Amino acid sequence: MPEPLHVKVFRFNPESDVAPKFDHFQVPVFDNMAILDVVMHIQNYLDRSLSFRFSCRIGMCGSCAMYVNGRARLACRTQVSSLKTRDITVMPLPNFPIIRDLVVDMEPFFDKWKKIKPYYLPKKEIDAPVTVQPDSDEREFIDDMLDCISCGCCYSACSMVATHKDYLGPAALNRAYTLIADKRDAIRVERLKAVDRSYGVWRCHTQFNCAEVCPKNIVPTRSIQNLKRRCVLKKIGVFK
Amino acid sequence: MHAWTWLLQRISAVILLIVVGFHIGFLHFSNTGEPLNYGEVVTRLKTPILMVFDVLLLIFGIYHALYGVYSVFLDFDSGKKERVLVFALFVAVGVGIVGFGIFGLLYTAGSL
C-alpha cells in the first residue's frame, strides 16, 4: 500500500469565515491520479463542504484551474506523480476574488475580455467561404493562440495583473491579437485602439509568467509583443 | 507616446549591442600594456571613432536604462500629473547625464 498523499487545502467562506485557513487531509493514491481526483476524493469521502469547480475533466473547459504546489494548473490535467512529492497544497487561483474555498470569481477576468470585443466581426464585402486558407502562413501564425480555453492560469500568474486591477491581462490581449491578426475582421483598428493603452499592451514587461503556466502551451507574451509592433505600425500609418 | 518610446528602446538595444561590442573590442585590442596609465587612456580617447562610439554608448545606454526605470515607475498606480512630472524629471536627468558625460569625454580628450 503506497503512502497516502498529505493534502493541504485552502478553505474560506467569505460569508461566514473571519479569515482563510488550511485543512489537512490524507488521501489514498492510485495510478494515474490527477489533482482533480484528489479534491474529488476529499469532497466524496472526507469533507462534503469543500467547494471547487470542474466540468469536462479532459482539459477542454478550463474550469478546474487551481494553484497547486505554488503554480497555476488545470486540476484535471495535472498528474499527482508529476509533482514528485506526497505533500500537496491546493489553493484558489491568485489575482481573483474568492467565492468559496477553491472557487474564484471569474467576472473581473471576463470583464476585460469584453473590453476587447472578443468576437469576430466580418467585413461585409467578404463573400468567399474560406478567405484565410488553413495551411497559409497567416493561419498558422495564430493557430496556437486560438487554443486558449480561458482557464485564467495566465491571468493568475501575471505579476502585472497583481499590481493593477485595470491591466487587461495576457488572456484578453492574446484573444485581441488573434482577431487583430485576422484580415477578415472589420474592427481591427478599433480593437488595436482598445489595447494601445497604459493598462493594455504597454503594461506587459515580457516576464513570460503567463507562458510558463499556460496548460495549452500558448505564449501570450508573444501575442502582446506582436500587438506592440502593430501599435507602432498604426502610428506610422502602415496598419489599417 | 508609448509606441514611440517602446520602439526607441528596441532600437537602442540593437545599437547598444553594436557600440558596447565595439567599445570592449577596441579597448581590448588597443591595450598598449599593463598597467595602463592616464596618458595612454587620453591618447586612446583621442581616436575619433572611439569618441563617436562612446558618445553613442552614452546616449543610448542612458536612454535604455532610464526608460526601463520609468517603465517600473509606471507599474505604481500614479496619476497623470505624477506621470508627466516624473517623465519630465527623467528627461532632465537623462539630458543632464548625457551632457555631462559628453563634456567629460571631450574634456579628457583635450578637445575643449
Note the ipTM here: 0.77
What is the grid cell recorded at A155? 491571468
Considering only the beta carbons, identify the residue of B2, B71, B77 that sits closest to A205. B71
Q: Report the C-alpha gap between A70 and B67 in whole angstroms.
A: 32
Residue A75 reports pLDDT greater than 90? yes
| Cβ-count burial A52-74 (b if 16+ within 10 Å, e if not) | bbbeebebebbbbbbbbbeebbb
A78, A151 contact by CB (below 8 A)? no
Residue A67: enclosing H or E segment and its boundaries? strand A65-68
Contact check, Cβ <8 Å, A196/B2: yes
A219, A231 contact by CB (below 8 A)? no
Q: Report the C-alpha gap between A84 and A66 in whole angstroms.
A: 18
pLDDT for res A128: 73
Residue A179 reports pLDDT greater than 90? yes
Range A149-176 average pLDDT: 95
Residues 6 or more apart in contact with residue B77 via CB below 8 angstroms: A163, A164
Return the ∠ at Cα A193 (arms to A187 and A198), rounded to 5°: 155
pLDDT for res B80: 84
A175, A113 contact by CB (below 8 A)? yes
Closest CA to A54 of A39, A44, A41, A67: A39
Contact check, Cβ <8 Å, A205/B77: no
Residue A237 reports pLDDT greater than 90? no
pLDDT for res B39: 87
Query: Of B73, B75, B83, which to mutate for an interface test with A (greatest number of A Cβ within 10 Å)?
Result: B75
Residue A2 reports pLDDT greater than 90? no
- B chain contacts of residue A161, beta-carbon cutoff 8 Å: none
Q: Strands A71-74, A87-91: parallel, antiparallel or unpaired by DSSP?
A: unpaired
> In 10 A of CB B97, how many CB atoms?
16
pLDDT for res A153: 98
DSSP tally for chain B: helices H, then strands E? 4, 0
Q: For chain B, list residues with pLDDT below 50.
A: none
- B chain contacts of residue A235, beta-carbon cutoff 8 Å: 3-4
Q: Report the C-alpha gap between A67 and A96 in whole angstroms.
A: 11
Closest CA to A176 of A164, A188, A161, A159: A188
Question: What tens digit of pLDDT does each residue of A87-144 get?
Answer: 999 999 999 999 999 999 999 999 999 999 999 888 877 777 767 777 887 777 788 8
- B chain contacts of residue A193, beta-carbon cutoff 8 Å: none
List residues in chain A touching B: CB distance below 8 A. Answer: 160, 163-164, 196, 198, 202-203, 205, 228, 231-232, 234-235
pLDDT for res A136: 81
Give how far Cα A214 sits from Cα of A19, A68, A103, A210, Å: 30, 14, 19, 6
Residue A16 reports pLDDT greater than 80? yes
Contact check, Cβ <8 Å, A231/B3: yes
